[in-house]
Every structure is written in C-alpha cells, then in structure tokens.
Amino acid sequence: MAERRLFGTDGVRGVAGEVLTASLALQLGRAATQELGARRMLVLRDTRRSGPMLEAALAAGASSAGATVLFGGVLPTPAAPLLTITHGFDLAAVISASHNPYEDNGIKFFGADGHKLADSTEARIEARMAADAGTGGEHGDVGRLIGAGEDYLRALADRFGGLDLSGIKVALDCAHGATYKIAPEIFRRLGADVTATAITPDGENINAGVGSTHLDPLIALMQQGAHDIGFAFDGDGDRVLAVDRTGEVVDGDELIALIARHLDRTGELGGGVAVTVMTNFGFHRAMKQQGVEVEITGVGDRYVLEALREKQWRLGGEQSGHIIDLGFCPSGDGIASALLVLEALAGHDLTARDGMRKMPQLLVNVPVPDRDAALQDESVLAARDDAAMELGTDGRILLRASGTEQLVRVMVEAPSQELATALCERVADRVRALA
C-alpha cells in the first residue's frame, strides 16, 4: 500500500501559502474527486483569513475533475458529515486547522457515508497527485448551499429538542471560530441564558488566547459566579471542554465518563467506550466500577471512530475534548457534546459530578526539528525507561509524536502531581536537548 506523506491524523495541514498553497489545494481537490468518483462535493471552512483562498482553489480542482461544488460557508466541522448525508453529497471537505493558530490551515475530507476517509484512501489520493496529468472533458459547476447553517441547527434541535435549558446560565467561548454563530443560537433556542465570548472573528484571532486550548478567559468568567456552567470550543468546533461554576476545568476524559455513566444508566450506551492511550487512568477505574468495557486506540479521533465502527459502539473520544456520539453524528461535535453533558447532568451541578477521579497527570509538548528521529533517540528512550521503572505499576509514561506539528508529547501519570511533574520534566529535558 502506498505511504501517506501529506495526510496526518486529521487531514493535510500546514502554514497557509507556504505548505498548504493554493496549488496544493487544487491538486487535492482534483485527486480526491477522481479517487472517490465524486459528482457532488460540499466545502465548509472556519474563520481563518486563508480560508476563502483555499476554498476557491479546492473547488477549482474538484470542478476541473467534473464535480459540482457547493460552498456551505463558515460552519463547524461536524456539519460536514451531517450535511453530506442529508443532501446526498459524494464528498465533503472542511478547510480548517482546528486549534492551531490562524497562520496554519488544513483540508480534511469526508466520504458519502459521513466518515473521514480511510488511511488507504488518503494514500491513493496522494498517489494520484504525484501522477497528476490534469483532466479533460466536462467540468462541474461551483455554487452555494443555501441554508446550510439552518440545516445544521435543525439537526441539533431535532436531537436535543427535549432538553429544556430554561433558567440555566451558560457561558460559551467560541474561539472566534466556526461555532461563533451556531453555538449561541442553539443554546438560546433550547432556553438557556447565554453569555457568548470570542464571537468576533477577524481572520487572525481564531484560537488567539481563547477557546478550548486557552481556558483562562472562561475560567475567569466562571469565577465571577454568574453562570452555572461554561463550555469552550476549538476553532473548527469538533471539540469542547467545560468549566464548572467554581472555575474548575472539566476535561474530555471527565466529560466522556459523565456521558458514559448517563447513557449506561438509561440503557442507551449500546456497548463500551473507545478512548485513546492518552486517556487518564482514572477513567479506566471509573468505567470498571460502572461495568463498562473500554477499548484503547491510538491518538486521533479517526482511530477512536474506527474502533467504534468495528465494535458497533456509540461513544468514544479524547482527553482534548473530541467526543464522538454515533447516536448523532459520525464525527466529534463540540456543540452536541456540550448539550449531551447538560442532558447527562439533568439539572445537577457539574461540581457534584459523579464521574471519574483523575490520577495526577502532566503533559509537556516539546518542539523538535524531527519528531520521528526524537522518538528513536537512545538517550530519550533510556530516560523514558528509567521513569517507567521508577513508576512501576503505580503510573505510566507515554511518548508520542504530534500528528500535525514537529512536537514530541511527553505524558506522565503518577500517584502525586509532584512525582508526575518531576519525571515528565526529566524526560522532556532529554527531548529538549535534541533541539
């Protein structure tokens, strides 16, 4: 099988105009259309300044291969699979770099079934790009999908229409990203008293000190005591983290545990839960106590999704806040996950959640020139093994490369935060020495 070089764990991503150029986007659009035999393609994007450029180039490539391309505008990533299925598209693309800074952008594809493309399909797309000799024959049209945002809102309302949020004061941090209109609107339609922040995108402020990777503004807002619960989305809206009324952060592991307990109690879980190797050990203990089976996957929501499809389960996700509920959508959906959390709480205070008790954990991201070489360095591996020996069965250490950036992630779980910090920094220092 051909090897993927452009595609990472979440599509093709890089600095817009340097790595991810208009030329590359055109080639991707043409090759993906040809590989999938697509006649109709949907394109969504987030609020980055480079989005319209890449949108136009991607559409040019797809239409040159015969596809009719419709733009859905600025919408969260999970709208793509929902709209693809609703409107019968053969292929969908989302132009976004998720939680990355505005200088970056990315392109990820969804098939006609609403699922992200398999690794093997992405490899064949790359092979077509390498052999690209252009196209001949008929070209497709380019236009707009009218009412795309309302279609997505309708899907959310249909799923959560029985959720009455009257009297609940909700704070939303929309990261100046793709959720900036949709998230406040659906919460208000369900009756919530909404305070929405980071809702004035200018093309460059997406994720800039706000959103699920920069929680301080939401924490400060919650600590003022005027809201019952807060949610922070990332730039493309496929992940969410929560903050309770005291300002305490509730991460993806805790949210998934809360949802899993709820669905198990109501008989709607439909099996076990799929999570990644990064999931806190406290989650596993909580699920064992609940009698819920857990499947462990590699890092990346695509691998969680593969496990769910193989097991025919419903729920899975990541500590970062990617939560997949196949009862609603074949993709992580930050807005739907936030509403599912409120459904699970059923009027209870998030500070009194009966989910998991986290084991102290520290994750350090270390920039390196070559992430793959760093993971093979003998001194780094020796430091990891020494830390693992010191932890024994009372914790764990994990080294992995970022799927989208030149970073090595060092994660340690230990009986105390002090020990986790000491061991994590010791190993991280060995990685830093390679820079």
Catalytic residue list: 98
Q: What is the distance between the alpha carbons of residues 9 and 300, in angstroms, rounded to a whole number? A: 6
CB of 282 within 8 A of CB of 261?
no
Report the alpha-carbon distance of residue 348 to residue 344 in Å, rounded: 9
Structure tokens belonging to residue 339: 């509403």
Distance, C-alpha 279 to centroid of its chain: 15
Distance CA 340, CA 324 (A): 11
Q: What angle do CA 423, 428, 433 make, to 5 degrees?
A: 135
Residue 223 is which amino acid? Q
